[in-house]
């Protein structure tokens, strides 16, 4: 039985554990297998790009994007690959008539107008287009030094000031454990442990979801942040506290414990970003907590460490290469304390 999800690209269906592309030839339907569902959306979008590439010129934007996904994007983390796939799909559709050398600054400005009310999204697409144009130069499709994005300014983004209170965290955890029907949720214990570990370690959700039992040692838990893997390579060892040990003990006691991954589904598969994010958003809504992102737990952790143990300790927890990075990260979460004039 085939079905089509609303979040899939046009003419893509699920059938027999795989994604299929369907095109019509008169009354006949031609089914082309793209990738297995378990390989995720990045593999689907790469397969789509490969299929489209067959009919495209080598230096078309569609072909350029397919090459970039295979040569560059494939080295990114799973979560980043999903973001890359979504962004490049949008860009490919908007620039489908362009060859790489035909992309100009005015054409990019016209494309970015669609995101002018969303500064972060605007900057993300600007950054992706800049990277694609750099790749086009590398491939010889554009002369060196002709990146049209370089002349376009980024949009200023207002710093996030949200600080989650302890009370809000408790309410969200209760909402994780109990669904709309008042009954206990099947994944509640795992997601609760994920929330606790996010706060206690100050790590990003992507690094938590890829955490393996082999990273849990005698001295504590070792994280290799994906954001530093390709640059400084900095690792973070979060030393044991009683609360952190308790969280790990709860995870070890779960009946669906995976032999490899710390956070896993009922089927013992590693939790995806989409799955964990959906559970979080549903709980936040049930709890009635406004304007609350999972990443705010990291902000809360670093801010609390800064308050209690100082900026250097917060910097180490955040795996920031400079203290100014940490200062910029936490300074918006709390008011600066100064004495009155007299």
* Furthest CA-CA distance within the chain: 86
The pLDDT of residue 217 is: 95
pTM of this prediction exceeds 0.85:
no
What is the sign, positive or negative, of the torsion defined by CA atoms of 301, 286, 275, 273? negative
Give exposure, 161-197, as e/b (b: 16+ Cβ within 10 Å).
eeebeeebbebbbebbbeeeeeeebebbbbbbbbbbb
Rounded CA separation 308/265 (Å): 35
CB 53 within 8 A of CB 83: no
Rounded CA separation 218/229 (Å): 23
The pLDDT of residue 54 is: 62
Tokens matching residue 15: 């059938």
What DSSP element (H or E) covers 34? strand 28-36
The pLDDT of residue 336 is: 67
Please list the ranges in the chain whose pLDDT falls under 70.
Answer: 1-4, 25-26, 53-56, 229-232, 331-336
CATH class, range 166-330: mainly alpha
| Domain range summary for the chain, segments of one domain joined by + | 12-139, 166-330
CB 207 within 8 A of CB 226: yes
Rounded CA separation 169/88 (Å): 35
Residue 70: C-alpha distances to residues 156, 198, 262, 283 (Å): 32, 32, 29, 36
Rounded CA separation 37/51 (Å): 17
């Amino acid at each position: 039985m085939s079905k089509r999800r609303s979040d899939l690209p046009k003419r893509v269906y699920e059938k027999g554990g795989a994604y299929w592309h369907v095109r019509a030839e008169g009354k006949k339907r031609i089914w082309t297998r793209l990738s297995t569902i378990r390989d995720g959306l990045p593999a689907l979008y790469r397969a789509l790009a490969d299929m489209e590439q067959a009919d495209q010129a080598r230096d078309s934007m569609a072909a350029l994007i397919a090459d970039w996904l295979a040569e560059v994007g494939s080295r990114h983390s799973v979560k980043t690959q999903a973001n890359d796939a979504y962004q490049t799909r949008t860009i490919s559709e908007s620039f489908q008539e362009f060859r790489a050398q035909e992309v100009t600054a005015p054409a990019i400005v016209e494309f970015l107008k669609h995101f002018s009310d969303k500064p972060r999204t605007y900057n993300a697409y600007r950054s992706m287009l800049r990277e694609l144009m750099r790749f086009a130069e590398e491939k010889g499709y554009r002369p060196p030094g002709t990146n049209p994005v370089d002349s376009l300014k980024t949009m200023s983004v207002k710093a996030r000031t949200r600080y989650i209170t302890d009370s809000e965290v408790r309410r969200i955890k209760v909402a994780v454990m109990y669904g709309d029907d008042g009954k206990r949720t099947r994944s509640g214990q795992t997601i609760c442990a994920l929330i606790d570990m996010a706060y206690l370690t100050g790590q990003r959700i992507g690094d938590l979801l890829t955490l393996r039992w082999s990273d849990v040692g005698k001295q504590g838990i070792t994280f290799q942040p994906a954001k530093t893997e390709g640059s400084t390579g900095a690792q973070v060892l979060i030393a044991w506290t009683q609360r952190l040990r308790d969280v790990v003990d709860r995870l070890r006691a779960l009946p669906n414990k995976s032999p490899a991954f710390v956070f896993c589904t009922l089927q013992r598969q590693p939790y995806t970003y989409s799955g964990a994010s959906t559970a979080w958003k549903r709980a936040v809504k049930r709890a009635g907590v406004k304007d609350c992102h999972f990443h705010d737990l990291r902000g809360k952790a670093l801010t609390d460490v800064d308050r209690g143990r100082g900026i250097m300790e917060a910097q180490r927890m955040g795996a920031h290469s400079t203290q100014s990075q940490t200062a910029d990260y936490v300074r918006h979460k709390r008011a600066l304390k100064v004495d009155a004039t007299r």
